[in-house]
Amino acid sequence: MTVLYEVAAADLRRAYSDGTIPSLRHILEPTDADGAYAVQAINTRFWQNAGRRIIGRKVGLTAKAVQAQLGVDQPDFGVLFDDMRIADGGVLAASRLLQPKVEAEVAIVLGRGLDNPKATREAVVAATDHAVAAIEIVDSRIADWKISFADTVADNGSSGFFVLGREAHKLVGLDLYTCGMVLEVNGAIASLGAGAACLGHPLNAAAWLARTLSAAGQPLKAGDIVLTGALGPMVALMPGDRVEAHIGGLGRASFSYEGGPA
């Protein structure tokens, strides 16, 4: 299967510049987590060798309804590279994406590493330096977003870019369970949600990630950014859109999406 995984990885890499590809079902069964993460790992190594630097991880599929849709009972994760970060209030060129969507999230930044295959929410709190409001710009190299669980995992968690807000908040005293989220596009409300929508609590998602990565021998490190997962429905993104997320207790994050399609 290794050769087929290499083929799938190469197809996904080409899609970034050449356009979307069909589902990888001819190589990966829809719920084949091991095979999908093997493909993801091939491309992670490729991009690291090309000079990209890992600065954290993203958690996806944190909504139970989305898990049920894809036939799984767990989240997934992808890698955050340094060149995926867009400055708060910055501009993202439409030419850099294929079929983007946006979602608002809670992000945490670790003050120390977290290597514990039994990590709890409390362990995450102890390891976290601060939390910020975040926007994730997701994208899929799979045509028309007709994805399986294996497709999105292999495709680095359907990753694109992300924005972190400027307000850094310590976790002590924050209510990330009932905190409200409003995502605005061009000044109009486009998505609503709350912290509990993310696997019951954003720190549950972070703890799941810590356990999963530790068990795989790839623990979270000091300074890592963790995007914990969507607080509400994703919203399709169109050139000319200005996006702003507001999260109770964390403040805001924003960016503009400009230019024509690739």
- In 3D, which of 237, 220, 99, 222 has the Cα closest to residue 163? 237
Query: 94-139: per-residue pLDDT in tens?
Result: 999 999 999 999 999 999 999 999 999 999 999 999 999 999 999 9
- Domain 2-258 sits in CATH 3.40.50.300: no
- In 3D, which of 243, 251, 228 has the Cα closest to residue 183? 243
Inter-residue contact 181 to 246 (CB < 8 Å): yes
Question: Which pTM does this prediction carry?
Answer: 0.96
Other CB atoms closer than 10 Å to residue 121's CB: what's the count?
17
What are 80's two structure tokens? 């955050």
Q: Where are the domains of the chain?
A: 2-258
**What is the model's pLDDT at position 262?**
44
Report DSSP state, residue 65. H
